[in-house]
Amino acid sequence: MSDKAWGGRFARDTDRGLAAFARSLPLDRRLWPYDLALSAAHVRMLAHRGILSQADADALLTGLVDLERAFAAGEVELPEEGEDIHLAIESLLFARIGEVAGRLHTGRSRNDQVATDLHLYLRDAAHRQSAALTDLLGALWERSRQALEQGVVVPGYTHTQRAQPVLLAHLWLAHFDALERDRGRLADLVRRANRSPLGAAALAGSPHPLDAVLTARLLGFDGPYDNSLDAVADRDFLVEYLSFAALCGVHLSRMADEAILWTTAEFGFAALEDDAAFGSSLMPQKKNPEAFEHVRARAGRLTGVLAGFLATLKGLPLAYNSDLQESHHALYTAADTLDGMLAAVRRLLEALVVQPERMAQAASDPLMLATDAADLLVRRGVPFRTAHRQVGELVAEAAARGVGLGELAADVVAAHAPALTPADLARLTAQGAVAARATHGGTAPARVAEALERARARLAPPPLPPPPPRAADVAHTPLPLEEVSR
C-alpha cells in the first residue's frame, strides 16, 4: 500500500521520478505562514460548530502555534521528498501532537486550502508593494517639487527626436501619474479578490456543517466565495495581479530606459553616483547604468509570466486541475521580480544626478520653437496648415544654412512667411514656449504647480484589506465573531 496521505486507493507508491516532477513543495514552502493561519481558522470553526471537541481543537491549535514559532525561528526542516506544504505541515503536526493531527483535514481539501493560501499570499504581497510604490511616488514627488522650484527645462521627445521644451517637473509627474495608477490597480484587484475559498472543499462543498463566513472573517476576508466550483478553480485574481505587475514593470522600464539615455555622453542630462553604477572588466573609462538595464529587461520577464499563465488557464475545465500548480511559479516569479525592480528603481532614482545646465542647453535648440512660430502665425490670422508649411520651409532654410530660426535673413523669412520677421523669431525662447502651454495638464509652471498639489493629495496609499493574520492571532481571536454567529 502507498504511504501517501491519499494512498489508500493505491497498491504501490508513486514512481519517484513522476513524484519529483509533480512536487510543489520546493515552491510552495513559502506558503507556510498562510497555511498555518488558515488551519488555525479552520480548527476554530470546526470547534465552534461542534465538529471537533474543544480538547482536540486546543491540541491542534497548540501544535499549529508551536509550528509557527518553529518556522519563524528557522527550526523546521521540511522533508526533501514532501509533496506539498499542506501535507508537510500535517506531517510535522503528527510528529508533535500525535493522531489528533489527522482531524485537521476534516471538511477541507487541498484544493480550497491552496486557493486560500494564494489569496493570503497575494494580500501580503499587496501590502508590501503598495508601500514600496508609495515610497517611490514620494521620491518622484520630491524630485518634481525641486525641479519646479529650480525651473529646470528639458527637451520633450517624440519618436526619440527633440520635440518641444517641457519642465523637468512635468516629466517627473508623468511618471508619478503612471505609477500612481498602478498602485490603484493593485488596491482594486486585492479588494476584489478578498474572498475566501475555504469551505468549498474539493469542489462541491462539504457535508459537514461548516461555517465559511466564520473562517473568512477570522482570516480578514470580506466573505466566502458564492460558488464552490469557482472557489477552487478561480485564478482570475492572479491574472489581475500578473497584469498589474506587468504594467507596473513596463512603467518602471520606461523610466529606466529614459535614465539610460540621459546618462549617455550623447545626452549628458544626468549621471549616476558611483555606488549605483557598474564598470567594465576591459574598458577603464566605462560607467554603466547596468541596474537600469536589468530593470528594463525584467519588465519582459513580467510580461512573459502573464502571457504564459493565461495560456495555462485557457483550456482548463472546471474545477481543479494540477495545471493550476503553475500558479505558484507565476505568482512568486512576478512578486519577487517586481519587489526587486521597485527597490532598484527607488535607489537608482536617488542616485540619478541631473545636469540642469546640459538639459537647458539642449532645450534651447531653436528648432524646437518651430511650433511656437506656427502658433504665432495662427494668432496673426494665418490658417494653421499654411502656417505649418511656411515654418517648415523656414526650418529647412535654417538647417541648410546651419543657423537658428532667429538668425535667418529678413528676405528669407519674408519669402516663406510674410507675416513674420527675424525679430519675431529671435524673441521665441524655451522658457516662453513652456510658459505658453498653460492649458490644463500643460507644462506651464502654474499648471505644473497645480498638478504637484493634486499629486500631493494622492500620496497617501489607498486602503487595502488587512494583512494576513498569524496563526497565533487566529488561535486567540474571541468567538463567536458578532457578525457571523449563527
| Confidence at residue 70, expressed as pLDDT on a 0 to 100 scale | 97
pLDDT reading at 406 higher than 90: no
Q: Which tens digits make up the pLDDT trace of 55-98?
A: 999 999 999 999 999 999 999 998 877 889 999 999 999 999 99
Q: Which tens digits make up the pLDDT trace of 181-204?
A: 999 999 999 999 999 999 999 999
User: Residue 4's pLDDT band (boundaries 50, 70, 90)?
Assistant: low
Crossing angle of the two packed helices 32-48 and 85-97, in degrees rounded to 10? 60
Query: How far is the C-alpha of 311 from the C-alpha of 94, rounded, in Å?
Result: 39
Contact criterion met (CB below 8 Å) for 103 and 57: no
| Confidence at residue 141, expressed as pLDDT on a 0 to 100 scale | 98
Q: Give the range among 122-126, 278-282, 342-346, 371-375 with minimum mean pLDDT.
A: 278-282
Question: Where does 338-460 show beta strands of DSSP type E?
Answer: 352-354
Average pLDDT, integer, range 340-366: 95
Is the CA virtual torsion 213, 215, 221, 224 positive or negative? negative
More confident residue, 26 or 340: 340
User: Residue 17's pLDDT band (boundaries 50, 70, 90)?
Assistant: confident
- The answer to whether domain 110-363 has CATH 3.40.50.261 is no
Average pLDDT, integer, range 399-409: 90
More confident residue, 206 or 403: 206
Q: Which fold has domain 366-428?
A: Ribonucleotide Reductase Protein R1; domain 1 (1.10.40)
Write down the catalytic residue from 208, 280, 476, 485: 280
151: helix, coil or strand?
coil
485 is annotated as an active-site residue? no
| Confidence at residue 11, expressed as pLDDT on a 0 to 100 scale | 67
Q: Are strands 195-196 and 223-224 parallel, antiparallel or unpaired?
A: parallel
Q: Which amino acid is residue 51, in one-letter code?
A: I
Query: How far is the C-alpha of 433 from the C-alpha of 149, rounded, in Å?
Result: 18
| Confidence at residue 154, expressed as pLDDT on a 0 to 100 scale | 97
Of 228, 218, 220, 231, which Cα lies nearest the Cα of 40?
218
Q: Which tens digits make up the pLDDT trace of 109-141?
A: 999 999 999 999 999 999 999 999 999 999 999
Distance set, CA 363 to CA 154, 173, 260, 320, 357 (Å): 5, 18, 19, 59, 10
* Burial class for 178, CB neighbours closer than 10 Å (0-12, 13-18, 19+): middle
User: What is the rounded average pLDDT for all residues in the chain?
Assistant: 94
Cell (9 digits) for 176: 508619478
pTM check: above 0.75? yes
| Confidence at residue 5, expressed as pLDDT on a 0 to 100 scale | 63
pLDDT reading at 473 higher than 90: yes
Cell (9 digits) for 407: 538668425
Distance set, CA 68 to CA 54, 250, 462 (Å): 21, 37, 30
| Confidence at residue 310, expressed as pLDDT on a 0 to 100 scale | 97
User: Residue 2's pLDDT band (boundaries 50, 70, 90)?
Assistant: very low
Q: Which tens digits make up the pLDDT trace of 255-301?
A: 999 999 999 999 999 999 989 888 888 898 889 999 999 999 999 99
The residue behind cell 501532537 is 97
Contact criterion met (CB below 8 Å) for 208 and 486: no
Query: How far is the C-alpha of 255 from the C-alpha of 272, rounded, in Å?
Result: 14
pLDDT reading at 485 higher than 50: no
Q: What angle do CA 323, 331, 18 make, to 5 degrees?
A: 35
pLDDT reading at 144 higher than 50: yes
Cell (9 digits) for 142: 520630491
pLDDT reading at 405 higher than 80: yes
pLDDT reading at 384 higher than 60: yes
Of 276, 266, 294, 448, which Cα lies nearest the Cα of 353?
276
The residue behind cell 490597480 is 185
pLDDT reading at 481 higher than 80: no
pLDDT reading at 29 higher than 50: yes
State which H helix or E strand residue 253 sits in. Answer: helix 236-262
| Confidence at residue 486, expressed as pLDDT on a 0 to 100 scale | 44
Domains 110-363 and 366-428 share a fold: no
Q: Are strands 223-224 and 270-272 parallel, antiparallel or unpaired?
A: unpaired
Distance set, CA 277 to CA 300, 337, 340 (Å): 22, 20, 17
| Confidence at residue 1, expressed as pLDDT on a 0 to 100 scale | 36
Sequence spans of domains, the chain: 17-109, 110-363, 366-428
| Confidence at residue 6, expressed as pLDDT on a 0 to 100 scale | 54
Query: How far is the C-alpha of 45 from the C-alpha of 49, rounded, in Å?
Result: 6
Q: Which tens digits make up the pLDDT trace of 436-457?
A: 999 999 999 999 999 999 999 9
| Confidence at residue 482, expressed as pLDDT on a 0 to 100 scale | 56
Contact criterion met (CB below 8 Å) for 424 and 376: yes
More confident residue, 462 or 14: 462
196 is annotated as an active-site residue? no
* CATH class given for the domain over 17-109: mainly alpha
353: helix, coil or strand?
strand
Crossing angle of the two packed helices 110-150 and 236-262, in degrees rounded to 10? 30
Highest mean pLDDT among 267-281, 315-329, 330-344, 366-380: 330-344
Write down the catalytic residue from 159, 281, 322, 440: 159
